[in-house]
């Protein structure tokens, strides 16, 4: 099916339409988020366009896509970082009230990345990407992601099922 009739839409608008369609279908979506660190131990975060708050980079799977390819795709789209390695799963989060847009099941994964950050491809979705030292993280996180980050950084990393 060709999407040519929708070519007149601004770049970020098609993504927003897809999100609305998912919400209307009322089925949980599968998401993946990265606790991505560089060689200095800094944590990579993105500032969301809709809330202005910071979040772990990530997103939802495309139809026919595997988790292993979705996470590097999302990291590049949202930050422009170079993905060096994917690590362990640190948690699986399914609380329906976590994301006000839709019910998501989010898998949180450790990742190793390197800069320089080329920035987000879609500035309607993501305003900026930045590395933070672990002791200098923002106060407020989007979509309840602070607990995802804390679980992943805990000394005894184990998979959290929520």
Could you tell me if residue 136 is inside a domain? yes
Q: Is residue 12 part of a domain?
A: no
Annotated catalytic residues are 128
Could you list the residue range(s) of the whole structural domain that residue 125 is in?
A: 28-161
Q: Give dist(CA 118, CA 120) in Å, integer.
A: 7
42 within domain boundaries? yes
Long-range contacts of 9-16 (CB under 8 A, 24+ apart): 10/124, 11/122, 11/124, 12/122, 12/123, 12/124, 12/125, 13/124, 15/122, 15/124, 15/125, 16/124
pTM here is 0.81
pLDDT at position 16? 75
Q: Which two tokens stand for residue 100?
A: 């006000």
Give CA–CA dist 44/37, Å, rounded: 6
Closest to 95 in 3D by CA, of 147, 140, 133:
147
Query: Is 91 among the domain residues?
Result: yes
- 19 domain residue, yes or no: no
Region of poorest pLDDT, from 25-29, 37-41, 57-61, 115-119:
25-29
3-state secondary structure 85-113: EEEEEEEEECCCCCCCCCCEEEEEEEEEE
Query: Is 104 a domain residue?
Result: yes
**Structural domains in the chain (count):** 1
Asked if residue 38 is part of any domain, the answer here is: yes
Is 133 contained in some domain?
Answer: yes
CA dist 159 and 55 (Å) reads 20
CATH number at residue 134: 3.90.79.10
78 exposed, middle or buried (CB, 10 Å; 0-12, 13-18, 19+)?
A: buried
pLDDT digits (tens, 9 = 90+) for 4-46: 555 666 666 767 777 777 666 678 889 999 999 999 999 999 9
Pairing of strands 43-48, 126-132: antiparallel
């Amino acid at each position: 099916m060709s999407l040519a009739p929708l070519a007149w839409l601004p770049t970020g608008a098609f993504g927003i339409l897809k999100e609305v369609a998912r919400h209307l279908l009322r089925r949980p979506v599968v998401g993946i988020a990265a606790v991505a660190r560089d060689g200095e131990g800094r944590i990579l975060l993105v500032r969301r366009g809709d809330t202005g708050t910071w979040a772990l980079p990530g997103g939802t799977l495309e139809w026919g896509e595997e988790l292993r390819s979705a996470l590097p795709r999302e990291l590049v789209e949202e930050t422009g970082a170079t993905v060096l390695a994917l690590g362990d799963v640190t948690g699986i989060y399914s609380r329906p009230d976590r994301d006000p847009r839709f019910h998501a099941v989010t898998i949180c994964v450790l990742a190793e990345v390197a800069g320089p950050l080329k920035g987000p491809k879609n500035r309607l979705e993501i305003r900026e990407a930045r590395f933070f030292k672990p002791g200098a993280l923002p106060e407020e996180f989007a979509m309840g992601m602070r607990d995802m980050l804390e679980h992943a950084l805990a000394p005894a990393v184990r998979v959290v099922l929520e």
